[in-house]
Every structure is written in structure tokens, then in C-alpha cells.
Structure 1
């Protein structure tokens, strides 16, 4: 098995860490896209958390700048933020400090494919974004590691790249040869130019089963987003003098995306979200 070179990952994320997750894009469609992405990511995870005030131990693997880790801490849970990049961990530390949450977090430098963490240590394992995709052909080992550190019966939530989206993206860019290669082997690149593995649904199903977890759902996020916005704008009948206000309609957009994400459109999502549980 091969995986992305850990030193390359570390260097690239150390480079981008000072500006990671800072500043919203000017384009309204992009701003709405990321609002929707975070909503679709967090809502099903939030529904898993205990409502009786019990504090869980949560692993935020590849936790980046602490965007989701701080949400767990704000809900009263203790978070271990693990990342391969010291620079990203510094960014997460600053986010937790700014919110007065440093007493609810532990920071660990590490690799998701070789976790130096004890078995069955966490009530919930969360690995969002590209950490598993960066493992390339070694992704089954990463999934096994993430399941290993979850308690029996505990949720394991993974975010990964979608092969169909990568394929269609290359076609839209006028790169049919790259599209054909990605269709066969799943190899593409992240926004920072590093190699990632883009998954099929069947690959994810196999990896989860082989890791000893029960698959609950695989859904897409966001789904057909920019095409959906165009269709909504046309349906709302905006004019040149009074264009449709997409931001004012954001709750309607979120509700429609939430519906689409869980109604069989997974392969049309920009990312996949995998909801699973370690078998008891």
C-alpha cells in the first residue's frame, strides 16, 4: 500500500496554516456552498451527541484549524485534536484559546494511518475533510485505525473525496485524459496540489466492513449545489433590477440540500460523508 508522503503533507499544511479557514470568499455562491457543507457535516453528528449532559471523549482526526473541534468542546465534550501539521495544530490552539476552551482539548501530532492512541479510547471518532483520502492506497489501514480507537458501539464519522465529482470536475476543466485516469484509479489532487484518493461508494462499504464497523449511511455534501442554485434563481423569477437574494433564502437552500443529501444523490455530492459505528 502507498500513501501520501507524511512530510509533504506536513510541509504543505504548515505553509497554508496561517490563512487556513480565514476569511469568507466574496462570491455569494461560494459562501453559501461552505455554509451548506458545514451544515450537512455537523447536523447528523450533533444528533449523535448525548442530550443528558454526559461529556464524551471525541477524537477530531485531521482536525485542521479546530473548526469542528471547537463545536464539540462548546457542547461540553473533551476533544483530542490530531493533525499531521504542527502549524495546523497551532491554528487550532488559537481557536480554542479565543473561545476559552483550552481546558477541554488535547493536541496531538499524528498520522491517521498510524495512530499512537489506545484501543477503544473514544466515544466518537470524527475525521472530516481529506485525511483518509490523503492515505491513497493505504486508506483501508486508516479506516481500521480510526475504528480501532473508537469504543465498541461508538460512532465513526468520515469525510472523503468523491470519485464521480473528481471525474466530472476534470471534464469541466477540459481535461478528459485526467478524467479517464481518475475514473479508473481514483487518483486526483486536493486544492493544495497534493495527491488524494477519490472514493466510490463500494470502496467505502468494503473499507468500513473490513475495519469492523457497521455502516449506517453514506451521503453526499453538498449535492448538485451550483446547478441547484441556478435552478432556484430561475424559479424565483429574479430580474436584472431586482435579482434573487440567495443569502436571504439560505434557510430554504439548507433545507433543500439536507433533503437531497439523504435521498440517494450521494454520488452527486462534492464529498461523501460516512456514518458508521464500531461493532459491539
Structure 2
């Protein structure tokens, strides 16, 4: 069986992958040479040598990014919920001779909470806006990150960031309507024909959400792309939310809630 027949048998393809002999899996992709054109923006900002790096590729699809990262020496855990994409990714890895560098698992992003391991690089592109519980996913991943997260999501237009006070009165909520306030639009029906396109945050909201999960944006190499690193100071500010994360991921939470309960008077009792 030749390559072209294999590609046809594994269709449809969402990743147009350039195989070692130059054959492409989706040369007529409606988005163009996707996701290669995104990789061109990202690649120069990553270490050329990722030997020894443990990488998590979330929503790996047919494995384009997993292949590129494995080429640089990384060991990749590539996860997706769709067995069709995982079958494609397995086939693609074999074409490049990288099947020993890429582990494929059918998993949800929430399942990462149960993994007893951390990752030097978490690749989190094109997934969050498809989730019903986006902030939970970021909370989970921030706990598993050692060095770098490459994050991308669908956004609302505009890059304005408003100056948000540390606190404001309940009767001062009109300021939340100003341009650049962190907001995320909820899409109840469909966007671009996709019923799983749930969210479209603005730029300010993305940065605020990442900070609230203990992640500092260090670089923004292209539209909708964010490089983030763990930040201990930001994590310390959000430690009182830990009980919710533990409960949501099926872990014991009663001890962790003590801090939240102990501090409730700080925000529930009116100041004199």
C-alpha cells in the first residue's frame, strides 16, 4: 500500500503534515498550510535542542507539533480525545521514525490532574475555547508545568488592556464595561459552524486568567500566541483557591479549604 492510499484511508485530516518524502496529508486545507504557518511563528522562540525535555501536547490531532518537538529531541506525551486523530498521529510518527519519542494516549485535559509527572513544556494550542471549564484546565496544567507553556486560544478582537484596580465597590461595576476590561464572551450556539466553540476571551482576559493560575506571560510572538512560565509569587497570591481545584479533580480538599474559610472575613465583613 502506498503513502497516498494510507493518507486517503486515514482521512479526513485537519493537520497538513509534510511527510519525509514531501507528500502532504492535506494539501488543499481550507486554512492553507495549517498548522505549519503557525509553527513558523513559534519555532524561532524555542530552544533548538530539547533533548531531555518532557513535553505534553494537548489536543495533539495528527501530531504536527509533536513531530516538530520530537525532532528537536523532546520526549512527548501527545493526548487527544479523538481516536481518529490518535490513529493518524501514530501513523505519522512511524513515517518519521519517531514512534519511540512520542507516546500517544486518549485523554481529556482534565485527566492530566491524575498524572504523577510534570512537564518541561506544555503545548496548549487551539483547545481551551472548546472546553466547558476553561479556567479549570489552566489550573490543572499550571500544577504540572516546570518551565514553559505555549498557549493559544480563539480571542475577541483588540489588544487594549484596561487598568484594573485591586478592589472596587459593588456599586462601581460600571467600570467593567470599559474597553480593555478582562472579559470572555460565551458562545451559546455555534461559531463557524462548530458547537464546541464556547468561549472567546479578549487579550486582557487571557493575561488575567494566566496570572490567576500562577503563570507569567514572558513573550507574545504572534497573534493569539502566549509564552508563559510558572511564577511563584503569582501562585502564592492564588493559593486560597486550591480547595476548589482539589475538589474538581476528585482529591481530598477539606484540609486545603481551611485557609479559604479562615480568610472569609477579609472579604465578607464590610470595612468601617
Could you state the TM-score of these two structures normalised by the residue count of structure 1? 0.59
Following superposition of structure 1 onto structure 2, how do residues 62-101 of structure 1 map, counting pairs within 5 Å? 62-101=59-98
Q: Distance in 2 between matches of 1:26 and 1:202?
A: 31
Deviation at 1:207, TM superposition (A): 1.2
Q: Quick one: structure 1 residues 98 and 57, their matched pair in 2 at CA, closer, same or farther if it must change by over 3 Å?
A: same
Q: Distance in 1 between matches of 2:149 and 2:52?
A: 17
Q: Quick one: structure 1 residues 77 and 191, their matched pair in 2 at CA, closer, same or farther if it must change by over 3 Å?
A: farther
Deviation at 1:279, TM superposition (A): 2.1
Q: Distance in 1 between matches of 2:56 and 2:93?
A: 15
Q: Distance in 2 between matches of 1:209 and 1:26?
A: 35
Query: In the alignment, which residue of structure 2 is the partner of 1:12?
Result: none
Deviation at 1:18, TM superposition (A): 3.6
Query: In the alignment, which residue of structure 1 is the partner of 2:145?
Result: 150
Structure 2: state its 5+ residue gaps.
1-9, 16-24, 159-182, 233-272
Q: Distance in 2 between matches of 1:211 and 1:42?
A: 25
Deviation at 1:147, TM superposition (A): 1.5
Q: What number of residue pairs does the alignment pair up?
A: 188
RMSD: 2.8
Q: Deviations over 1:150-202 (max 9, x none)?
A: 12xx101111002128xxxxxxxxxxxxxxxxx97242525645323112112
Query: In the alignment, which residue of structure 2 is the partner of 1:159?
Result: 152
Query: In the alignment, which residue of structure 1 is the partner of 2:6?
Result: none
Query: In the alignment, which residue of structure 2 is the partner of 1:19?
Result: 13
Q: 2:44 aligns to what SS in structure 1?
A: helix
Could you state the TM-score of these two structures normalised by the residue count of structure 2? 0.61
Q: Distance in 2 between matches of 1:213 and 1:96?
A: 31
Query: In the alignment, which residue of structure 2 is the partner of 1:139?
Result: 134
Q: Deviations over 1:123-152 (max 9, x none)?
A: 1111122x111114x21111111211112x
Query: In the alignment, which residue of structure 2 is the partner of 1:199?
Result: 201
Following superposition of structure 1 onto structure 2, how do residues 160-175 of structure 1 map, counting pairs within 5 Å? 160-164=153-157
Q: 2:119 aligns to what SS in structure 1?
A: coil
Q: Distance in 2 between matches of 1:78 and 1:43?
A: 19
Indicate the structure (1 or 2) with the bigger Cα radius of gyration: 2
Query: In the alignment, which residue of structure 2 is the partner of 1:185?
Result: 185
> Which structure has greater helix proportion?
1
Corresponding position: 1:36 with 2:37:
yes
Structure 1: state its 5+ residue gaps.
1-15, 166-182, 222-271
CA contact (8 A) 2:124 2:151 kept: yes
Q: 1:161 aligns to what SS in structure 2?
A: coil
Q: Distance in 1 between matches of 2:193 and 2:57?
A: 21
